[in-house]
Amino acid sequence: MSDDIDDTPILVGEPLAPDEMTEQLTVSRQDLLDAIEWWDSVASDEFVGVLV
């Protein structure tokens, strides 16, 4: 066994190509609703509910 320990992380998979992300680049009504949920999950008390 070698004394050298290879700590290089082993990464899995390949990056998405730009055209594989195209579908995600449009913003739908559902995205707006998801954004409300995202906002409310992190907002301070006085900012909760303001996007509705």
Partner 1 sequence: MSLDQPNAGVQLVYNEQEQVWVLASTGEELAATAIHAEIRAHATLSATMLNDVTVNMYTHGLPIDVWQNAMFTELKEGHTANMAFAAGGVENVTPEGIARLEATLAKEAEFLTEFAEGVSNGSVSELQARARAKQYAQAMEQSYWNEWGDGLANTAQFSHLPLLTQSPGDGQTQCRGNCQCILEFTDSGINWLLFPAEHCDDCLALAAGGPYRST
Instruction: Answer yes or no: are the C-beta atoms of 48 and 40 closer than 8 Å.
Output: yes
Is the CB of 3 or the CB of 23 nearer to partner 1?
23
Minimum gap (Å) between residue 8 Cβ and partner 1 = 8
Task: Using CB atoms within 10 Å of the CB of residue 51, give its burial: 0 to 12 exposed, 13 to 18 middle, 19+ buried.
Answer: middle
Applying CB under 8 A, which residues contact partner 1? 8-18, 20-21, 24-27, 31-36, 38-39, 42-52
Torsion of CA 6, 12, 18, 22, to 10 degrees: -150
Minimum gap (Å) between residue 6 Cβ and partner 1 = 13
Minimum gap (Å) between residue 19 Cβ and partner 1 = 10
